[in-house]
Amino acid sequence: MSDSPDGRSWVIGVNQSLKLIRSGKAKRVILAKDADIMFASRVKNEIKKVGNIEIDTRFTSLQLAEKAGVEVPTAIITEF
């Protein structure tokens, strides 16, 4: 978990992201535009169940990794 410059906290990865989504704590999900279709569908379905969570798909997995400060491609970042 990390903090963004605007003071919002975020996590990387599907398991932590799904926990935040399901609990209603997620504010924005940044989903890589090149993420696996089945993975993206699973995440989007969970978001639809909860509602009112912003989804951002402007970035690639490499761009998300750079944003998160990690060296491996990242399919999802969730802000809360």
Confidence of residue 6 (pLDDT cuts 50, 70, 90): low
SS3 content of the chain, % helix, strand, coil (to 5): 40, 20, 40
Alpha helical stretches, state H, the chain: 14-23, 37-50, 61-68
Domain 2-79 indexed as CATH 3.40.50.150: no
The H or E element that residue 36 is part of is: none
pLDDT of residue 37: 97
> Average of pLDDT values for 7-22?
93
Domain definitions of the chain by residue range: 2-79
Query: Is it the case that residue 51 has pLDDT exceeding 70?
Result: yes
pLDDT of residue 8: 80
